[in-house]
Structure 1
Amino acid sequence: MPALLAPAVADFRRRSDWFFASPFRPFFIGASLFAASAVPVWLWLYLVHPAEVAGMPALEWHAHEMVFGYLPAVMAGYLLSLAAKGARKGALSGRSLALVFFLWIAGRLLPLFVPFVFGAVIDLLFPLAVAGVLLGLSRGPGAKQSKHGLVLFPLLAAASLAHRVFAFGDGALDYEVAALLSRLGIAVGALLIGAVGGRLVPELTRLALGEEAGERVPEPYRRFDLIALLSLSAGLVAWVLMPSHPLTFVLAGMAALINLARLGRWRGFLLNDLPTLALHAGYLWLIAGLFFAALAASPASFVPADAALHALSAGAIGTMTLAVMARLTVSREQGGLAGKVVRLAIVLVHAGAILRVVAPFVLDLYRPLLVSGGTLWSAAFLVFFAVQIAPLFGGRIGVRGA
């Protein structure tokens, strides 16, 4: 019997070694599957079976899982990969990575079944563990980039716990604070897009354009980029703290205009490479979210607040995280199957985000647009999930490390 099991055990180890060989792989695969499944579950809860989930109203559970579940997983995959590159070889073992990944899974599943207090504590373990791993990696030589998450993940841990606590309550103040904390999590993701995207997007654009662009290349990182980040920070802080205040109209509107100028400096209009162009489109969603936040805060409330929130979440965060994950995980084979599938995922996620943002503008079609948008958005991540796991089943379609 042991002899018969030996090939199966060896195969399992091979697949496990591949899965945990790179920090981005388990988190990007897990986040993709989670995004593909959590939104349909929320749509079912909203349309068919309104109920409490993990001690929270269904709407708050949906917000919590997308902001404090999906987003930190993508951030962990990206930041741990950067940190591991600069650290000594073997500084992040497969076992350590597996433990952190399973803490993330526990934070998504166990709160559904255990008492509320235990679920809240379990959910804290993942961001604190990521911060601890990043701290360890940052002590090695050349690991400067690992410091990015040392503040972000403790902040997300605190906000996640507070969100669960206030979402558990049923008073008006509880609702307001829970909504504020959801906006805070989205703002962290949006600010990360502005900070990391501000270096990543022009760099990848420069590579995609090559020598054919001549002098028409993206502007290098300069003082204007710092001004754009400061304006983005001010606009997002105003939106988080006072989404209906006239000051938010001013600050978010200025941030949108300044960051629109920043995007123009990156020369995305010269591109014909969809995966790279998707990074520009993701940043454009950030700008659209700021514009919508400004218009929603205007005295006339030109835009529904829900449109601004989902332009920043489903739009900016959803499309940009997919675009970044695709660049890290899928090799650039323009004619390969992986490239075609990734292009399909990019189109689907943008279509889904557009329908979700349009929904509150057309109240008579709100539910059909909501369902259609959520379905397309989730389908994008399901398609991308399938691309990533193909090597586990013997497929070699351009996935890095296959």
Structure 2
Amino acid sequence: MATIPLQEPVYRGNAGPLFFAGGFRPFFLFTALQALLSLPLWLAIYAGGLDLKLPFAAALWHGHEMVFGFAGAAIAGFLLTAVPNWTNTHHVSGKPLMLLFAVWLGGRLAFTLAGFLPPLLVAVIDLAFLPLLAWMVAKPLLSAGKWRNIAFLPILGVFFLANLTVHLRGDMVGVYVGLTMVLTMIAIVGGRIVPSFTQNWLRMQGQAVEVTPLAWVEKGGAVGLLVAGMALTIALPGAAVTGAVLLAAAAVHGLRLGRWHGYKTLRSPILWVLHLGYLWLVIGLALLGLSSFIHALPASAALHALTAGAVGTMILAVMSRASLGHSGRPLVVSPLTVAAYVLLSAGTLLRVVAPVLSDAQMALTHAGGTFWAFAWLLFVVVYFPVLTKPRADGRPG
């Protein structure tokens, strides 16, 4: 079975502050901080208590910062940590990593202060991040000839074009394209690491299981249906054909998930949360498909199952696992981290239900957002020392 191992990259000495010794340190911590700070800010805007004087719809700011800010930082942390492992090359650290992080942070500030800055300046600052990230991960991938993982480069390319579309059009189309790329990465990476980690853990528990992949699903079926369904959502929202393709995508991803023995991992939170994150992908696709046929089910409910649920949970799951492994600590999560897993899904559930129950929509939205943000507060509390202190095993990085 194809796998993406989340093992230790090659460290050949540190350059600069410890916090910038590896990409997972600044980007994983600030992924959580981005969620923790921007979600309450959005709730204040949503309630009408705050006006950022944005030159575009406030909902566009929220969607953009969740997709290109929050998910973008997580993608950077993942790729900067995984690529050295795939290619047996040194990780990006020191000044280059500081520059990349500064560009990402500058984009967050520029987009939030867009009402006070020239649009061209906002675009230049915000758009600079993804090409720089792509350059840093492309060099080792191409030099090592790791063609199997080159697929992440065109994904980053489309992700950049989606962000460019936001700046050119000033509407949600680019956000939806960007979300599609994030979900595509979840389908690819999740499809490799979830069954692999599960199979390995179960064998360590004395359960000899074999996860046999379905060739047509793994060789494009799952990802193809997902991309097709999301593309139709953008081009033909609410159409019957859109709903049908999305429901087919949900069924295929549900079939895929069902073959991964997730029910056997309930004693291992660091594993079952990966299955839970992928389950949110299945739920989100199904709800989005059903919204084409059920008027009482708004597409916004499904989109939050995909964003707050699938994207949020998979990011939290991978970051909590990778942060421990790459800091030389055992892969055992604390009770507070498990609480974060539960709170994030509880918050997502409330946010999904909110637009369906119109009379309670405001209250449920705020409750769901509060739960979701509090999950990231718990992550910061637990992982701040993990991400800012030396490795527990004394090794560099």
From 292, 317, 331, the equivalent of 1:297 is 292
Secondary structure of the corresponding residue to residue 301 of structure 1: coil
From 225, 233, 237, the equivalent of 1:239 is 233
Aligned equivalent of 1:345 = 340
Q: CA deviation at 1:179?
A: 2.5
Query: After the TM superposition, which residues 156-167 of structure 1 pair with which residues of structure 2 at under 5 Å, given as runs?
Result: 156-167=159-170
Q: Give me the CA root mean square deviation.
A: 2.6
Q: CA deviation at 1:297?
A: 1.0
Secondary structure of the corresponding residue to residue 153 of structure 1: helix
Kindly provide the CA deviation profile for residues 301-357 of structure 1, in whole angstroms up to 9, marking residues without a partner as x: 2511110111111111111111111110125747x7x52221111111111111110
Summarize the Cα distance change of 1:179–1:325 in structure 2 as closer, same or farther, 3 Å threshold.
same
Q: Which structure is larger by alpha-carbon Rg, 1 or 2?
A: 1
Q: Is this contact kept in 2: 1:88–1:140, CA < 8 A? A: no
From 357, 362, 385, the equivalent of 2:357 is 362
Summarize the Cα distance change of 1:207–1:399 in structure 2 as closer, same or farther, 3 Å threshold.
farther
Does 2:189 match 1:186?
A: no
Query: After the TM superposition, which residues 2-401 of structure 1 pair with which residues of structure 2 at under 5 Å, given as runs?
Result: 17-87=17-87, 89-90=89-90, 92-111=92-111, 112=113, 113-141=116-144, 143-144=146-147, 147-167=150-170, 178-212=171-205, 214-220=207-213, 222-226=215-219, 227-272=221-266, 273-298=268-293, 300-331=294-325, 333=330, 338-391=333-386
Aligned equivalent of 2:5 = none
Q: CA deviation at 1:42?
A: 0.6
Q: CA deviation at 1:142?
A: 5.6
Q: Is this contact kept in 1: 2:22–2:92, CA < 8 A? A: no
Summarize the Cα distance change of 1:312–1:148 in structure 2 as closer, same or farther, 3 Å threshold.
same
Summarize the Cα distance change of 1:401–1:269 in structure 2 as closer, same or farther, 3 Å threshold.
farther
TM-score norm. by structure 1 comes to 0.86
The 2-side partners of 1:401 and 1:41 are apart by: 37
Q: Is this contact kept in 1: 2:15–2:21, CA < 8 A? A: no
Q: Higher helix proportion, which one?
A: 1
The 2-side partners of 1:349 and 1:399 are apart by: 33
Summarize the Cα distance change of 1:380–1:399 in structure 2 as closer, same or farther, 3 Å threshold.
farther
The 2-side partners of 1:94 and 1:73 are apart by: 17
Gaps of 5+ in 2: 1-13
Secondary structure of the corresponding residue to residue 190 of structure 1: helix
User: RCO greater where, 1 or 2, for CA within 8 Å and sep 6 or more?
Assistant: 2
Q: Is this contact kept in 1: 2:22–2:93, CA < 8 A? A: no
The 1-side partners of 2:153 and 2:165 are apart by: 19
Higher mean displacement: 210-219 or 23-32: 210-219
Give the % identical residues.
Answer: 35
Higher mean displacement: 366-375 or 216-225: 216-225
Gaps of 5+ in 1: 1-13, 168-177
Q: Is this contact kept in 1: 2:347–2:370, CA < 8 A? A: yes
Kindly provide the CA deviation profile for residues 351-378 of structure 1, in whole angstroms up to 9, marking residues without a partner as x: 1111110101111111111011111111
Q: Is this contact kept in 1: 2:238–2:292, CA < 8 A? A: yes
The 2-side partners of 1:345 and 1:262 are apart by: 26
TM-score norm. by structure 2 comes to 0.87
Secondary structure of the corresponding residue to residue 108 of structure 2: helix
Secondary structure of the corresponding residue to residue 330 of structure 1: helix
